Amino acid sequence: MNETPTSFSFGMIGLGTMGRNLLLNLADHDFAVAGYDKDTSKVSLLAEEGAGMPVQGFSSLPEFVSNLRTPRAIMMLVPAGPIVDSVIEELQPLLQPGDIIIDGGNSHFTDTNRRDAAVAAAGFHFFGMGISGGEEGARFGPSMMPGGDQQAYQVVQPMFEAIAARVGGEPCVTYIGPGASGHFVKMVHNGIEYGLMQLIAETYELMKRGLGLDNAAIGRVFAQWNNGRLQSFLLDITKDIFTFQAPGTDHLLLDDIKDEARSKGTGKWTSQVAQELEMAIPTIDTAVAMRDLSKYKALREKLATLYGPEPAALNGDQEAFLASLEQAFYFNMVITYAQGMHLLAKASKDYGYGLQLAEIAKIWRGGCIIRSSFLSDIFNAFQHTPDLPHLLLDEQVRALVNAAVPGARTVVAAAVTAGIAAPAYAASLSYFDTFRSARMPSNLIQAQRDYFGAHTYELIGHEGVFHTQWTPAHEDAANKQDTFTGPANQNEQPVIPNK
């Protein structure tokens, strides 16, 4: 850089791809920033890429901290887990009361709750912030989800608004809410990401195995869809993948990549939290399960030899099926977002986050991995009705779903008949059909639970909780009578249900 400032307005611990690019983004916007990493090669890379910019790297933590302007604002971008605690422990003796620590990694929100309390007790400010957009987003404009200490966020708010992605001139960053809300929202963002990626993979499978399309044709379909209502970051990169040849070859790199998907845990955390909150997000759950199943490659190959034949081709007119497939993908995309937003609404109430779902959809429209044109519809729905219980209740979304669901039924039925796995497609459709059922068969489950475990049940039109002795212990089976025993609270009079 041309001139070394006497102090820096922002510090970054961890100069990997995300940390380094965020610092360079800040420097692009004329903020004097500093970075620290134990790996001197990363410090050197920052110096190389930041030449001529107000940015400096340090390999000494005390020197790094001492060069930051007070109150110091320091972000950590290090792997989630014990490393975050280790960095905080090493950092705290070097700080002064009022300094700010920001965890910008993908930490589990319960860890953020714990760290928030511990850091506050030590006299410092702390907040967790989800960041989405990958390497390109960090460098040129991410979507950011800060939550926790609002006073601390206000100190760095001008910086984050300056470097965030922008849609319609508005920055894709907003204060999410108290506690670990920022990391919770980022976790659900990643869960939605899992669902969408699985749906794209299944779409690829249906075109390749079911329709017999070659890579070039599949790439053209994805490119065409990305120019329409399905426009999204994930489809945009997918169309590029279908044109990228392996270096020195005449075939796609995609064809050389193993069919074993990895993960970093955020999708699994989303499923786990949803179960704890008694929320149904089956498309996301299925996406997590399919990544796990993909890792059993040798076992899958063995089963493939035992349970032939190979899946059949999809019958019928190819163009008509592709039209149905576009409808089905759109339907499934809507359902995936709807599940994620419903989970956010439930967590907001249970955890006291006070989430503004319209604002979350708004900042997801740019910079982040799940950005898509449909997020404008989600924003409009929750802006019109902030306390909307479920996205599917919105009138405009209902019209979109009703128009697309015939394609979803066509595709799922064809895939099942041909023996082509489309688990996320099927999960989305079943979720929809179950949610629109005024009466589910769950009454039978309650009867079974009461039969084998005396878990009780409730009755239609009657107050109270009831239990029945379904098998009389001292009567001959041939002389069975109605054994309804009435309320579980024996102080109430039993109610005999109609036969």
Q: For each of the chain's 499 residues, which pLDDT tens digit applies?
A: 434 455 899 999 999 999 999 999 999 999 999 999 999 999 999 999 999 999 999 999 999 999 999 999 999 999 889 999 999 999 999 999 999 999 999 999 999 999 999 999 999 999 999 999 999 999 999 999 999 999 999 999 999 999 999 999 999 999 999 999 999 999 999 999 999 999 999 999 999 999 999 999 999 999 999 999 999 999 999 999 999 999 999 999 999 999 999 888 899 999 999 999 999 999 999 999 999 999 999 999 999 999 987 888 998 899 999 999 999 999 999 999 999 999 999 999 999 999 999 999 999 999 999 999 999 999 999 999 999 999 999 999 999 999 999 999 999 999 999 999 999 999 999 999 999 999 999 999 999 999 999 999 999 999 999 999 998 765 544 444 445 556 665 444 444 444 3
- Quote the pLDDT of residue 176: 97
C-alpha torsion 347→351→357→360, nearest 10: -100
- 4 near 52, Cβ under 8 Å? no
SS3 at position 116: helix
Whole-number Å distance between alpha carbons of 136 and 106 = 17
What is the number of other CB atoms lying within 10 angstroms of the CB of residue 413? 13
What is the structure's pLDDT at 496?
Answer: 44
Catalytic-labelled residue, pool 3, 161, 186, 276: 186
Q: In this structure, what token pair is assigned to residue 176?
A: 């999410």
Residue 193 catalytic?
A: yes
* Alpha-carbon gap, residue 468 to 488, rounded angstroms: 9
How many helices (H) and strands (E) would you count in the chain? 19, 11
Active site residue 186: yes
Radius of gyration, CA atoms only, the chain: 27
Per-residue model confidence (pLDDT) at position 242: 97
User: What's the pLDDT at 480?
Assistant: 44
Options 42, 193, 268, 326, the catalytic residue: 193
Q: What's the pLDDT score for residue 331?
A: 98
